[in-house]
Structure 1
Amino acid sequence: MEIECQICFESHSKSLFPKITANCNHGLNICELCVNKHIKTQLDSKGVVEINCPFNKCNQKIQNDDIKKISKELFERFDTLLLRQTLSKIPEFRWCKNSECNSGQIHFEGDDAPIMTCHACKQKSCYTHDIPWHQDSTCSEYEITRKGNDKETRDLLEKETKPCPQCGVRIIKGEGCNHIICGMKKCHYEFCWLCFADYNEIRKHGNTFHKKTCRFYA
């Protein structure tokens, strides 16, 4: 017996229509290939770990166990993203600033002892400013140098904007995902707000093209 998929409209054997979630029966209408493609697209383009059933207007979440049953490979990527996002929400957690390192750690001493030494690669970074350690200057001295004379303007630019990696125009991020498209007419460059990775490359290669220190890297 063959069933027509409600997304690709191709007919497949009934065995290729898996149960998508425990809370809806749309797996009876959507083939395994389309379910896999839907999950992969969400992980690659948005780096999200809350994925809805692909059926139109169905808001039921695809649970961890559901993804594990659908695809072991996708589950491993999903699980990695979930772990990284969970760690990033811990206030005392910092990722190593060495671009070749994929480690991170909790620094309970906080601002009282701002020099962090990575347990994996031994590179030093600043807990307070979340950057590689600023040699030959304390955090207070670095703050003065960074802000300069025009304190309020520099603070606002540093806090609220980032430069487009292609044209250099500073961009203000509104609410929503971290997939940014430059608004300049001759640019329209697409990049990740967190690590500046090129989204054209992310679409081709998946989340491995994010920088290793980015929480969307997997």
Structure 2
Amino acid sequence: MEHNQNTSYETNVVMAEQTATVEENNMAMPTRECVVCLIAQPEQEFYPTYSTTCQHMYRYICNSCTYYSVKVILDSAISSQVSCPETNCPAKWSSNEVRQVLLVNNDHLLLNKYDANLIRQFLESDDNFFWCAHGCGSGQYDYTISIRNSKMTCIACKKDTCVFHRVKWHEGMTCDQYEQWYPSTDAMTRQWIQTYTKKCPGCQCNIEKNGGCNLMTCKKCGRQFTWDNLFSYTPLTNYWYTSHQYDRGGTINYNTLANHTHVRHEMNHRPHRKGKLASLLRLLKF
């Protein structure tokens, strides 16, 4: 019995010493505060630098928030272009660098979507590639783009598309007759575009706003901007607030920002960190 008690005592002592050692190591571990989530985290959460084109020596956005930034870009737009979220870093990440972020976080679903978007954008960059005008989702190459009255038959749905006008085939009409028959329609379309759309500040394509909030995402280039004033901002900013939280002068409404659960907790329980909110301004890239 005495031997068992001694063994139990020694085991407890060893466990206590191991616990103390772990706690001491944790206390001694260098940390860094992420400028997005405002949480002090181990230094390894800020390594490595994801891109060789990045111009900063150190990272101040943790791995989790960096991944979230990439996820917002790829989830909310049909864009495959990802920029470094670090302040004042103009680096554009390569496809392999974006894939690395997704693979490290085991997001294979988003990785597949990203690869599909890369293929789509590559195809659409070629003037000789055409989507079927009937909306079946199929597309193919046709090298008669400059020839009027050229008809492309879809390999999927077998329906015809006018290659010159990129519309459903105008059965019984030549391209000249089609243009003569629908001139007023074209003029009305141009007037409607001028009245009800705005140009993306990134790629200059026309975008229509048919509801929802003031935040817009261009489906062609992925640029995010506010509809009223066409201010561009980084997708990482959406982690904290939406475009509703801008006042009419284009400045940040701190009262709305403070409604975020994490920020409200920080301000109520650690008021000395209230000034840290100002660091969020550095994330804006107008």
Q: Same fold (TM over 0.5)?
A: yes
2:141 pairs, out of 87, 106, 123, with 106
Q: For 2:214 and 2:32, how far apart are their aligned partners in 1?
A: 41
Matched residue, 2:94? 63
1:116 CA displacement: 0.8
Q: Distance in 1 between matches of 2:36 and 2:162?
A: 49
Query: Does residue 162 of structure 1 match 2:187?
Result: no
* Gap change, CA 1:172 and 1:157, over 3 Å in 2: farther
In 2, the alpha carbon distance for the partners of 1:173 and 1:56 equals: 28
Provide the aligned C-alpha RMSD in A.
Answer: 3.4
Q: Distance in 1 between matches of 2:44 and 2:69?
A: 19
Give the corresponding residue for 2:83: 52
Q: What code does the residue aligned with 1:144 have?
A: Q
Change (3 A) 1:53 1:193: closer
Alpha-carbon distance between aligned partners in 1 of 2:215 and 2:96, rounded to the nearest angstrom? 36
**What percentage of aligned pairs have identical amino acids?**
28
- Structure 2 stretches lacking a partner, 5+ long: 1-28, 221-286
Distance change >3 Å, CA 10–CA 181, structure 1 → 2: farther
Structure 1, unaligned runs of 5 or more: 149-153, 164-169, 195-218
- Equivalent pairs counted in the alignment come to 180
TM-score by length of 2: 0.52
Distance in 1, matches of 2:177 and 2:214, equals 38
Structure 1 residue 122 corresponds to structure 2 residue 148 = no
Distance 1:176 1:132 in 2: 31
1:94 touches 1:104 (CA, 8 Å); kept in 2?
yes
TM superposition shift of 1:156 = 4.5
Residue of structure 2 in register with 1:83 after alignment: 119
User: Who wins on radius of gyration, i.e. which is larger?
Assistant: 2
Partner of 2:133: 97
Over 6 Å off, 4+ runs: 187-194
Distance change in 2, residues 1:129/1:181 (3 Å):
closer
Q: Report the Cα distance in structure 2 between the residues aligned to 1:22 and 1:29, rounded to whole angstroms.
A: 17
Q: Secondary structure at the match of 2:199?
A: coil
- Provide the residue aligned with 2:61 in structure 1: 30
User: Does the C-alpha gap of structure 1 residues 68 and 147 become closer, same or farther in structure 2, counting only changes over 3 Å?
Assistant: same
The aligned amino acid for 1:174 is: K
